[in-house]
Amino acid sequence: MKDSTGDFFKQEDVTEQRRARHRRRERRRAVLVMLGSLVVMVAVLYATVTVCVWMDRKMQTNANGVGGPAASGVNAPEDGEGSVPGGSDGSGESVPGSSDGTGGVDENKGSLTETDGSTAENNGDVVDAMNNAKVYSQVELENQVTSAREQAVEAVLGSIRTGLSDGDTVLDTLRPLYPDEIVVYSNRKYHFVPINRQLKLNQWQQESLEILESGEYRYLQDGEVISHKGIDVSRHQGKIDWQLVAQDGVEFAFIRVGYRGYGSNGTLVEDDQFEANIKGAIDAGIKVGVYFYSQAITEEEVREEAELVLNKIAPYQIDCPVVFDVEKVAEADGRMNGLSVEERTRLTDIFCQEIANAGYRPMIYYNTEMGALMIGIEALEGYDKWFAAYTDQFYYPYEYKVWQYSQTGRVQGIQGDVDLNISFEPLWEVTE
């Protein structure tokens, strides 16, 4: 979403040259992070393999039964060796195994007692009682762990090598390795944010996403297109022929009402194309919603922004949500950049409450960095979300109703680039 103008936003369009420089810097900085991550992953894999081997031995032992029916039992060694952590398999019997966890049976300590009270020979009868359960010596276990560790390292390195060789970004390469975390690059660091699976998660399936030759996205369910095509516009799109836009299949449009400058004054500015855009879209039969680009840092300012929006949209039929656009400004002096997560979350909530109290449906617009690091998603879960990510992957885990997937789209009736969106359900009331 491009929301810069005049003295407040000197860099309206981020050039490809700047993006390329940023990507090169990002790759260089990521090398050390990736190596450190690799060490951590190998350590985790090492521990996991060790535990899995122990569990496999324990499960095999329990499944096959030790010493026959419950009436028989294995005597624990006198000095405590041979016991498995936990001390019992739940049947009241001690589970055989050496103190080092290798699964070996100490042949010199303990005996297998039959139900008639006779004592079996240690060597043959113990093996028979195990019913061919897997038993590992210390050396065998160490060899298996070493082999598994080497394979794990090779698999991780191979994944990283393949991803980078294919031209993937560092983020694209790292993210599959951390399925339980959101990996975000921000402030020259890689952040690993645990996914809260108690929140509403998005249910979109990758195989249901269809990408047309034109670059347009559609989402299918049972072979039928269920998504709706949308755009968002501001003064940057200039004069728009909304009839042609409608003919190109656009069903909804978010129109910018205005913005607050990011300088110290934080001047409130109305979008000078708002009236023309909202009238043109409605006349063309396109469903409209609106958004406001905020840089409020106080409760007074955010209420002022909500009041401006409500006054501007009062004369019109607003079928889609009214959106609070909360973004991090790339410039160092962005007013909202210095807010804490709690402060930014509270201001977002205040704006949404003001909109809801006026009878409209509030929505929050943000990207991965903002959603993972800069606002409290838990506190804002009750509001609909409009998520921005210029990718073809459903990476962000939490629920959102609208996806802005491109900022370089093309639509009839608009000269130059325009943001493209899809909604996964109608954003307006559907009448029979």
**Over the stretch 390-403, which tens digit does the pLDDT of each residue have?**
999 999 999 999 99
Q: What angle do CA 259, 264, 268 make, to 5 degrees?
A: 25
Residue 172: CB partners within 8 Å, gap ≥ 6? 163
Q: What percent of the chain shows pLDDT beyond 90?
A: 54
- β-strand partners of 269: 259
pLDDT tens, residue by residue, 335-375: 998 899 999 999 999 999 999 999 999 999 999 999 999 99
pTM of the model: 0.68
Q: Compute CA distances 351 → 44, 294, 322, whole Å.
A: 44, 10, 10
Q: What is the pLDDT of residues 41-82, one digit of tens each?
A: 555 555 555 555 555 555 555 444 443 333 333 333 333 333
Cα angle vertex 345, ends 290, 258, to 5°? 25
Per-residue pLDDT at 358: 98
CB 270 within 8 A of CB 236: no
Tens-place pLDDT, residues 228-287: 999 999 999 999 999 999 999 999 999 999 999 988 889 999 999 999 999 999 999 999
Structure tokens at 198: 């108690």
Structure tokens at 9: 């936003």
User: Hey, is 65 helix, strand or coil?
Assistant: coil
Q: Which two tokens stand for residue 370?
A: 């903002």
Q: Is the pLDDT score of 129 beyond 50?
A: no
HEC-encoded secondary structure of 213-280: CCCCEEEEECCEECCEEEEEECHHHCCCCHHHHHHCCCCEEEEEEEEECCCCCCCEEECCCHHHHHHH
Mapped onto helix, strand or coil, the DSSP state of residue 379 is coil
Q: How far apart are CA 125 and CA 102, in angstroms?
A: 20
Percent of the chain surpassing pLDDT 70 = 66
